[in-house]
C-alpha cells in the first residue's frame, strides 16, 4: 500500500469544517462590523472565548463517528473509536456549557481558561478525526483489494 | 504576649487540579505524529506494529508508553501549579492505563478472531489494519481516559465538600430563623 495524494482528501474534508466553522464566522463578524461602521475587529480568540470551538468539534466528531459506523471494521473497533470520539467531543462541548452556566449564575468565569480548554480539546478532536479518516481510507483500500 | 510569627503558621498545600486541556494537547500532538507516520511510512510503520503484535509485546509497549506519558504530564501540571500530587491521582494514573491496555488487548483478540472467522477477502491485510487501529485507539484511551476519570473524581469530591461546608451553614441559618 503506497501513500498517494488522493489519500489526502481527508485533509480537504476536515479543512471544510475549519473554514465553515471558524473562518466564516470570524469573517462574518468583520463584515458585520464593516457594514455597521463599527470599529470592532474581533480576533478568533475573542469570538470563541466562551468555548464555542467545542461545539464545532462535536459536530466534526459526530460526522467522523458516522463514517466509522459505515466502515467495514469489526464491531469492537467501530464501538471503541466511536466512544472515544464521542467522549472527546462531549468534553469539548462541556467547556461551552460550563462557561455558559458560570456566566448565567454570576460565578467567576475566566474567558482565557475557556478559550484554552476549548482550543486544546478541539485540537484533539480534529487530530483524532484526521487519524481515523486516514485509517478508514487505508481499510477501504485493503477491503477493496 | 507577642503575636504569632506568620512564618511559623502552617501554609495549606494546594493539590493538583487537572484540566482536560493538558492531556488533550498531548494526545493531539501524538495523533498528528501517528498521522504523519501513517502517511509518509505507510508500509514500514504498519509492519513494525504488526510485528510487535505477533511477538506479543504490543500491549506491554502501549502500557509503558501511556504510563510514562501520563506520569510526565501529571508531574508537569504539578510543577506548573506548584501543587502537591495526591494519592487519588497516583492510583488513577497508575492503574487505569494498565486496565485500558489489558481491555484493549482482549478487544483486539476478539476483533482478530472475528475477522479470521469470516469469509472475507484479504484477511491478512484486514487483520493488519485492525491491529493498527487498535494501537492508535489504545494510545489515545490510555492517556485520555485516566485524566478524564481523575477530572470527574475531582469534580465529584469538590461538589461533596461544597455540600458539606454548606450544610452546617444552612442548619445554623434555619436554627436562627426559629
User: Taking CB atoms and an 8 Å cutoff, what residues of chain A touch B110?
Assistant: 74, 76
Comparing B7 with B77, which gets the higher pLDDT? B77
Closest CA to B108 of B126, B94, B82, B90: B126
DSSP B88-144: HHHHHHHHHHHHHHHHHHHHHHHHHHHHHHS--SSHHHHHHHHHHHHHHHHHHHHHH
Instruction: Give the tens place of pLDDT for each residue, A55-90.
Output: 999 999 999 999 999 998 999 899 999 999 999 999
Position B153 confidence tier, pLDDT thresholds 50, 70, 90: confident
- Please say if the pLDDT value at position A120 is more than 90: yes
User: Taking CB atoms and an 8 Å cutoff, what residues of chain A touch B146?
Assistant: none
Question: Quick check: helix, strand or coil at residue B27?
Answer: helix
Measured between CB atoms, does A117 come within 8 Å of chain B? yes
Taking an 8 Å cut-off on Cβ atoms, the answer to whether A117 and B20 are in contact is: yes
H or E, element range at B32: helix B21-40
Position A44 confidence tier, pLDDT thresholds 50, 70, 90: confident
Instruction: Give me the pLDDT at residue B177, please.
Output: 53
| The three three-digit cell numbers of residue A64, written as one number | 467522523
Q: Mention every residue, 6+ apart, whose C-beta is less than 8 A from residue B94.
A: B67
Q: Name the closest residue on chain B to residue A133, using Cα atoms.
A: B35
Instruction: Give me the pLDDT at residue A7, please.
Output: 62
Taking an 8 Å cut-off on Cβ atoms, the answer to whether A3 and B24 are in contact is: no
Measure in Å the smallest separation between the Cα of B9 and chain A Cα atoms. 29
Nearest to A84 among B20, B121, B137 (CB): B137
- Complex confidence, ipTM: 0.88
Taking an 8 Å cut-off on Cβ atoms, the answer to whether A84 and B144 are in contact is: yes
Instruction: Give me the pLDDT at residue A11, please.
Output: 79
Position B124 confidence tier, pLDDT thresholds 50, 70, 90: confident
Q: Are B29 and A126 in contact (CB under 8 A)?
A: no
Q: Name residue, grid cell 467545542.
A: A54
Taking an 8 Å cut-off on Cβ atoms, the answer to whether B38 and A134 are in contact is: yes
Taking an 8 Å cut-off on Cβ atoms, the answer to whether B111 and A91 are in contact is: no
Amino acid at each position: 500500500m503506497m501513500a498517494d495524494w488522493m489519500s489526502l482528501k481527508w485533509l480537504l474534508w476536515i479543512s471544510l469544517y475549519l473554514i465553515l466553522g471558524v473562518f466564516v464566522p470570524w469573517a462574518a463578524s468583520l463584515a458585520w462590523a464593516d457594514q455597521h461602521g463599527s470599529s470592532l475587529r474581533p480576533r478568533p480568540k475573542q469570538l470563541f472565548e466562551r468555548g464555542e470551538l467545542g461545539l464545532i468539534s462535536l459536530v466534526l466528531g459526530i460526522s467522523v463517528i458516522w463514517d466509522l459506523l459505515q466502515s467495514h471494521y469489526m464491531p469492537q473497533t467501530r464501538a471503541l473509536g466511536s466512544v472515544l470520539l464521542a467522549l472527546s467531543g462531549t468534553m469539548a462541548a462541556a467547556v461551552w456549557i460550563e462557561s455558559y452556566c458560570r456566566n448565567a449564575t454570576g460565578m467567576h468565569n475566566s474567558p482565557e481558561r475557556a478559550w484554552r480548554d476549548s482550543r486544546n480539546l478541539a485540537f484533539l478532536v480534529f487530530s483524532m478525526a484526521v487519524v481515523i479518516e486516514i485509517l478508514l481510507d487505508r481499510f477501504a483500500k485493503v477491503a477493496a483489494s | 504576649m507577642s503575636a504569632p510569627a506568620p512564618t511559623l503558621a502552617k501554609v495549606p498545600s494546594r493539590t493538583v487540579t487537572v484540566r482536560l486541556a493538558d492531556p488533550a494537547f498531548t494526545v493531539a500532538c501524538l495523533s498528528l505524529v501517528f498521522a504523519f507516520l501513517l502517511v509518509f511510512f505507510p508500509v514500514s510503520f504498519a509492519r513494525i506494529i504488526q510485528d510487535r503484535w505477533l511477538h506479543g509485546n504490543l500491549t506491554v509497549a502501549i502500557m509503558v508508553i501511556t504510563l510514562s506519558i501520563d506520569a510526565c504530564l501529571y508531574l508537569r501540571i504539578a510543577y506548573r501549579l506548584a501543587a502537591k500530587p495526591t494519592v487519588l491521582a497516583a492510583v488513577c494514573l497508575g492503574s487505569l492505563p494498565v486496565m485500558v491496555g489489558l481491555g484493549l488487548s482482549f478487544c483486539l483478540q476478539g476483533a482478530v478472531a472475528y475477522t479470521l472467522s469470516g469469509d472475507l477477502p484479504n484477511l491478512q491485510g484486514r487483520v493488519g489494519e485492525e491491529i493498527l487501529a487498535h494501537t492508535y485507539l489504545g494510545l489515545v484511551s490510555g492517556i485520555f481516559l485516566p485524566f478524564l476519570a481523575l477530572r470527574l473524581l475531582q469534580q465529584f469530591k469538590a461538589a461533596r465538600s461544597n455540600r458539606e461546608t454548606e450544610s452546617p451553614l444552612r442548619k445554623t441559618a434555619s436554627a436562627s430563623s426559629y
